[in-house]
Amino acid sequence: MKLLNVTNRYYIIIAVALVLIGCGFLTYRLLYLFDREITQHMLLEKQVIDQQLYEEKKLQHMSFKFGDHIEVQPIDKFTTFRIHVNDTEMFDPLKKEVVAFRILSYEQQIDSTGYRIKIRRRLTEDQDVLYGVLVAVVLIGLDVVISFYFLNRWFSRKIWAPFYAALNLLKNFDLRKEGKPRFRSSAIEEFNRMNNELRKLTDKVTSDYHNLKEFTENMSHETQTPLAIIHSRLDVLMQAENLTEQQQEHIRTTLDAVNRLSKMNKGLTLLAKIDNNQFLDEKEFSIAEVIEKHLSQLDIFIETREIRVIKNLSPRIRVTMNVNLADVLLTNLLSNAIKYNVDKGILKVALDEKTLVISNTGDAPLLSSEQIFERFKRGGEKIDSTGLGMAIVKKICDFNGLEISHNYYEHLHSFTVKLNSDKVKLT
Amino acid sequence: MKILIVEDEKDLLNAMVDYLHQSGMTCEKASTLEEALERIDLYDYDGIILDIGLPDGSGLKVIEEMKKKNHQTGILIVSAKNSLDDRLAGLNIGADDYIIKPFHMPELVARIKSVFRRRSFQGKKELVMNELRVIPDEMMFFVNDKQVPLTKTEHDLLMFLLSNSNKVLTKESIAEHLWGDHADMADSFDFIYSHIKNLRKKIIDHGGRDYVKSVYGVGYKFHSE
């Protein structure tokens, strides 16, 4: 939920509650006031009637009705001074419906004659007024809530603008790209503080990243020459006459170690180079052709292990990417599918405009589908593997915006590369 | 064969000189561009092994100078893996071949010998060793003047062994020579074993001697005697 909606939600809840409470209070007060006012009005009427009864002698001893409003009835005996006020519902012949009435009835004695006087008053008008007022109040409340909502939106947009700007900068922040995010200063202190901290943080991350990158680069570059020297010296040493078997063994194990180190070095250098954007020149080419080329280079290994190759390559698919990286990607995937295959196993290569799937028969994986792509994670006892092959594959895929996944189903390992539709062309 | 090695890394330079010397070549050293230019001005060489990245300039200058002199010297460029442009530029202005650092010494020897062969005899030269005879460019192989059919891999293997005769060749260097980037596929190296076995069998079956000896755990050696 957006911050804006959260504050708005609270505002609206509170505003609605306030309007409701206000309505209740207003209704209560209005009802009370009307009630009092009506009764007082009736009492005033009573006085007028009393006055008139007293003065108009001819009216005395008569029972009369004054519309449905006032009713005077002589009674035999005056009993009480009490005034009764009660609300009732009566049929209104004018409106032809049952409506609420208030009746004020009392007994009055004039010149020893007792009268019962009833004053009636319709309550409908007052209720109408009350309803009118309530509707007006609710409308005002609604008005307030709506303007609150939009005003709040507008204010929040304005006030939180620096926050959203910073958020956007962070979203687009990419260590590999040049240029630091430029957080703008704002009039609000909190945002300025946040931006300052973000600036420090991104600067730190950037410099750490560059240091690390530089270290990896230097490390892999600077170790190349010493490695080459060890290697060449071992080559020379190996040629010496009269080496004992033990010495030969020493040379052999050293050579193995140096070879592994060289391979690892090569892999790490490649990873560092991809990070450094050193493979930017892209070309359009047919993947099927490149796959065929690699398969033919690998055919000796395929034949020797009697691996059955099932190809389903659409030759019409051309992709745009760096050729060297494509070579490495396909070599690694294909070699992997042969290396970890079983004798007389199957190697499937399928290519359509959306995906490239390379599958091979194999034992259940020791690593999870995610771990397979991590550096120095080996899926077996293969001492020759550097543990970098799949990490390189992943890096190349990431670099080119390709999605790669692995799954294992019914003795078949499958690596699926989702092609980037922007860079695929059909011919 | 007289070779000039231009390489700024002294230790590597010395190792190369030692190894090539063992292979029967005469080597001279240069570790800067200036030194190299001076040497090619004063002496003639059969081949130059040239590192492009020198401290005082690009090794490409050496190739340009050699072209001016119109020499028949074969030039082999040594380059780092990431300097594809240098490599292409070098080949364009007249280098014969390139080798990427790091490399196996036998590979260097095979390359420089191949460059030398192409240069001196326009590739027509036959390689003769006792009863064996190879015409590299036509991929033909004779034992006692009888042609023996070889697969491409066997031919490559034979050339590599002949170029490095009497040297211990590690399985890694053979694998890399034969399969390049796919060398680590031959991880158990049974592949090399079967190729060596086939080649040996073909030579012996045609009346040749058993030249290839296995060096336990390390690799193979081609005895020329």
* Per-range mean pLDDT, top range of A32-36, A347-351, B10-14, B177-181: A347-351
Instruction: Inspect the interface and report whether the beta carbons of B18 and A236 lie closer than 8 Å.
Output: yes
Which of B105, B129, B125, B107 lies closest to B116 in space, CA to CA? B125
Q: What is the pTM of this model?
A: 0.63
With an 8 Å Cβ cutoff, the interface of chain A facing chain B consists of 224-225, 227-229, 231-233, 235-236, 238-239, 245, 248-249, 251-252, 255, 259, 262-263, 266, 269, 273, 278, 297-298, 300-301, 304, 327, 331, 335, 338-339, 382, 384-385
- ipTM of this complex prediction, to 2 decimal places: 0.77
- CB-CB: which of A251, A262, A269 is closest to B218? A251
CB distance B104–A231 less than 8 Å? yes
Alpha-carbon distances of A117 from A37, A62, A84, rounded to whole Å: 20, 12, 10
Residue-averaged pLDDT of chain B? 85
Q: Is a pLDDT exceeding 70 seen at residue B186?
A: no
Task: Count Cα atoms within 13 angstroms, Cβ side, for A289.
Answer: 8
Mutation for A interface: B8, B87, B88, B170, most A CBs within 10 A: B170
What integer pLDDT is reported at residue A358 of this predicted model?
94
- In the numeric block, the tokens 């010296």 are attached to A233
Locate the chain A residue with the closest alpha carbon to B84: A324
CA-nearest of B153, B156, B108, B116 to B134 is B156
Q: What pLDDT does residue A279 have?
A: 81
CA–CA gap between residue A152 and residue A190 (Å, rounded):
19
For an interface test with A, which of B23, B51, B172, B224 has the most A Cβ atoms less than 10 Å from its Cβ?
B172
User: How does residue B82 score in pLDDT terms, banded at 50, 70 and 90?
Assistant: low
B16 vs A: CB within 8 A: yes
Contact call for B179 and A245, based on CB within 8 A? no
Does residue B165 belong to the interface with chain A, where contact is any CB pair within 8 Å?
no
A251 and B218 Cβ atoms separated by less than 8 Å: yes
Tokens of B64: 């340009």
pLDDT for residue B50: 92
How many angstroms from the chain centroid is the CA of residue A216?
37
- What pLDDT does A117 receive? 84
Residues whose CB is less than 8 angstroms from the CB of residue A203 and which lie 6 or more positions away in sequence, other chains included: A180
Q: Which residue has the higher pLDDT, A153 or B200?
A: B200
Please tell me the distance from the alpha carbon of residue A401 to that of residue A397, in angstroms, as a whole number. 6
pLDDT tens, residue by residue, B89-122: 888 888 889 888 878 888 999 999 888 887 766 5
pLDDT at A24: 87
pLDDT tens per residue, range A150-206:
888 888 888 888 888 888 888 888 777 777 788 888 888 888 899 999 999 999 998
Name the stretches of chain A with pLDDT < 50. none
